[in-house]
Amino acid sequence: MMADQPLKGVRVLEMAQAIAGPFAARTLADMGAEVIKVEQPGVGDMSRRIGPHFLGTESAYYLNFNRNKQSVTIDLRQAQGQEVFHRLVAVSDVVFDAFRPSVLDRLAIDYESLKKTNPTVIACSLSAFGQEGPYRERPGFDGIVQAMGGGMSVTGNAGQPPVFMGFPVGDMVGGYVAALSIASALYGRSMTGEGRHLDISLLDVQIALQGHLGQFYLVSGEVPAPIGSSHPSNLPVGAYQTTDGGYIQVHCASQEFAMKTLQMMAGEVDEL
């Protein structure tokens, strides 16, 4: 937690569930924003029920990704729910959603509708494939964007099937990018007085993370492949088993650093 919270005084309405959206809003809350999580009556965020671990009746998933938030249930399909929601929009700085475009239009919570209530509002839509394009209405979760984005094709050991990351990198990095984009838009509004709509795609973020691999291919013509715990540019790099059955990861960025590492391991020097 930051001592001087930069987003103190900023109010965010969150309409998201599972991991990516709640993580983005949690990041804003950790920076001081007041986050009001809007949940569906009767069921709430789906992560409330996701196992395998629970603290009493509370899912560990839900507790982690929804700290520092307030929660309210609103039925956006009802006129009264719409009225309550737009009253909150009128006094909020940011409206954050993780819906497909058709859902926003159907519930009249799209950016154009929000602007009528609050002309300077910043709206952020986080989805698997973005608000435009042929996949705009397709749902998608972390594993899908890890695979389609190419990350699984370069993870694991050579000659083995693609490997899914041990944590939801697609959801979480997408959430970070959404939070960064919102913070940037808030700064922009402080300069111009204008709101805006942010369109964040989890797939776009995954592809952007691997831009250097695309550049490698353009230069070399070689398709990037998995190399385990090694590195395409540095030596020695890898996970090595120790005599007590554990593992250490060695990563040397230059020949000079590698030689000093070997000298330290041989007991010839005390430190690098």
Q: 189: which 2 tokens?
A: 């509004």
Side chain identity, residue 100: R
Q: Which two tokens stand for residue 100?
A: 């497909």
Q: Tally Cβ neighbours within 10 Å of residue 84.
A: 16
User: Please, what is the Cα angle at 231 between 159 and 206, to 5 degrees?
Assistant: 80
Q: What is the pLDDT of residues 176-197, one digit of tens each?
A: 999 999 999 999 999 999 999 9
User: pLDDT by residue (tens digit) across 24-73?
Assistant: 999 999 999 999 999 999 989 888 998 899 999 999 999 999 999 999 99
φ, ψ of residue 118 to 5 degrees: the values are: -140, 95
Residue partners of 249: CB distance under 8 A and separation at least 6: 229, 238, 239, 240
Q: Is the pLDDT higher at 262 or at 188?
A: 188
The pLDDT assigned to 262 comes to: 84
171 is an active site residue: yes
Task: Take residue 103 and report the two structure tokens written for it.
Answer: 């859902």
Q: What whole-number distance in Å separates Cα of residue 151 and Cα of residue 206?
A: 7
Rounded to an integer, what distance in angstroms lies between the CA atom of residue 19 and that of residue 172?
A: 7
Q: What is the mean pLDDT of residues 17-21?
A: 93
> What mean pLDDT do residues 251-269 have?
84
For the stretch 129-188, pLDDT in tens is: 999 999 999 989 899 999 999 999 999 999 999 988 889 999 999 999 999 999 999 999
Task: Report pLDDT for 236.
Answer: 84
Provide the sign of the torsion angle of the four alpha carbons 177, 178, 179, 181, taken in this order: positive
Selected catalytic residue, list 45, 97, 142, 171: 171
Q: What is the CA radius of gyration of the chain?
A: 23
Domain spans, the chain: 11-209, 229-272
Query: Among candidates 204, 210, 200, 202, which has minimal Cα distance to 152?
Result: 210
- Across 107-121, 151-165, 192-206, least confident range: 151-165
CATH code, 11-209: 3.40.50.10540
Q: What mean pLDDT, rounded, does the chain reach? A: 92
- Report the predicted TM-score, pTM, of the whole model to 2 decimal places: 0.89
Please, which pLDDT band fits residue 237 given cuts at 50, 70 and 90?
Answer: confident
Kindly tell me if the per-residue pLDDT of 1 is higher than 70: no
**Cβ count near 193 (within 10 Å):** 9
